[in-house]
Amino acid sequence: MVAIITGGSKGLGLAMAKKFIHEGYHLALCARNEADLLAAKTVLQNLNPDACILTYACDLSIKKEVEDFANKVLETYETLDVLVNNAGSFQPGELCEEADGLLKNLMATNLYSAYYLTRMIAPRMKQQRHGLIVNISSVAGLQAYTHGGSYSISKFALSGFSKNLRQELMPYGIKVSTIYPGATLSDSWKGSQIDPARIMEAEDVSNMIFAMTTLSPQAVVEEVVMRPMLGDL
């Protein structure tokens, strides 16, 4: 079994990689920073020395680099079981005040990366007639909020992508799920001085995603909203 995880070198992505490798999966991980990827690979290989771990440094906001990563995955693995579109960028802002080009940049990272990668991975899953695609959105993709700006727009767009993808791929036995996490302990919250006990753990999200893989072929979790127990921050 193989799980592809974008943004897999730290935070949510690394938590997912740890969960899947613990459960016996082989991995394909990408992130922008090669040093972070190699460090993550060392940690993961220690968890399961027999697992194959493909790492690939790339910027998924650039279509060519998305395609290069996808081709490497397709060359390395014959069967592809799980794709987690986790790579993303968070930048708060006000629509009328934020820097020119922010929407374009966030759409490239938060939406187009998932769109282009899925378009290259899905044909293999369609041949197999099975697979799970998980898109990591955000509670910012469910409702507008102060300082949401272009980030919120990009996550709303990712949610629309997921809904259409689910409809398109269901005849092939491919499941499509969207996770809407609230505040989760990751690099985005470093330096915030928020009590860690007030924020979800990355493992909460990774455990939820893995649980989706244990369902029968007849069942799919379309959407999951996850928030800190005491509500959003």
**Where along the chain do its domains lie?**
2-226
Q: Which CATH architecture has domain 2-226?
A: 3-Layer(aba) Sandwich (3.40)
Task: Give pLDDT, residue 190.
Answer: 63
Task: Give pLDDT, residue 139.
Answer: 92
Query: Residue 110 to residues 71, 75, 117, 206: CA-CA distances in angstroms?
Result: 20, 25, 12, 19
**Taking all residues of the chain, what is their mean pLDDT, rounded to a whole number?**
94
Who's near 179: CB < 8 A, 6+ residues apart? 134, 135, 136, 137, 205, 208, 209, 223, 224, 226
Average pLDDT, integer, range 50-78: 97
Give me the sign of the Cα torsion angle 167, 168, 169, 170: positive
Q: In what order do the strands lie in the sheet with 2-6?
A: 53-57, 26-31, 2-6, 82-85, 131-136, 174-181, 223-226
Query: Does position 191 have pLDDT exceeding 70, yes or no?
Result: no
Query: Does position 193 have pLDDT exceeding 80, yes or no?
Result: no
Average pLDDT, integer, range 207-228: 97
pLDDT digits (tens, 9 = 90+) for 86-103: 999 888 888 888 889 999
| 116 pLDDT tier (thresholds 50, 70, 90) | very high
Task: Give pLDDT, residue 82.
Answer: 98
Q: Which residues are tagged catalytic?
A: 151
Task: Give pLDDT, residue 26.
Answer: 98
